[in-house]
Amino acid sequence: MIDRLNHIAIAVPDLEAAAGQYRDVLGARVSEPQDLPQHGVTVIFVELPNTKIELLHPLGDDSPVAGFLERNATGGIHHVCYEVDDIIAARDHLAAKGARVLGDGEPRIGAHGKPVLFLHPKDFCGTLVELEQA
């Protein structure tokens, strides 16, 4: 069911420092910071030949990454995102298998303008999983 790895999201306490590490130490191409207020994050995209890394920093008062950074002060991997062809079919398949979809189970429009869902980390090896309709 899952297809390409779309991105790995890393929550970081200092966005400019993280971008500098990826740009200057690892030699990657990094974007300018982009505020995504509807998602409660500022993001920098690291473009790799086969996928993306998204450096996430909290934006606003109820950011979904603020609590994560309280528990992981140096930052860490926040979620992985896999592409699916049909997000409703994927959701229904997962529900039939007993996997928990977060929220009300209805896809939201994600950071790339495409429908996404998040799956409970306890069902997937302790990792928050995002599904994005490709």
Task: Give me the residues that bind Co ion (CB under 5 A), please.
Answer: 9, 81, 130
Minimum CB separation from Co ion for residue 6, in Å? Answer: 7
Would you say 6 or 19 has its CB closer to Co ion? Answer: 6
Active site residue 130: yes
Q: Is 30 left (phi over 0), alpha (psi -120 to 50) or beta?
A: beta
Minimum CB separation from Co ion for residue 13, in Å? Answer: 18
Would you say 9 or 59 has its CB closer to Co ion? Answer: 9
Q: 3-class DSSP state for residue 121?
A: helix
Would you say 24 or 35 has its CB closer to Co ion? Answer: 35
Question: For residue 44, which amino acid is it?
Answer: I
Minimum CB separation from Co ion for residue 101, in Å? Answer: 15
Give long-range contacts, CB 8 A cutoff, 24+ apart: 69-74.
69/11, 69/13, 72/11, 73/13, 74/13
Q: How far apart are CA 82 and CA 7, in angstroms?
A: 7
Q: How far apart are CA 14 and CA 88, in angstroms?
A: 36
Enumerate the active-site residues. 130
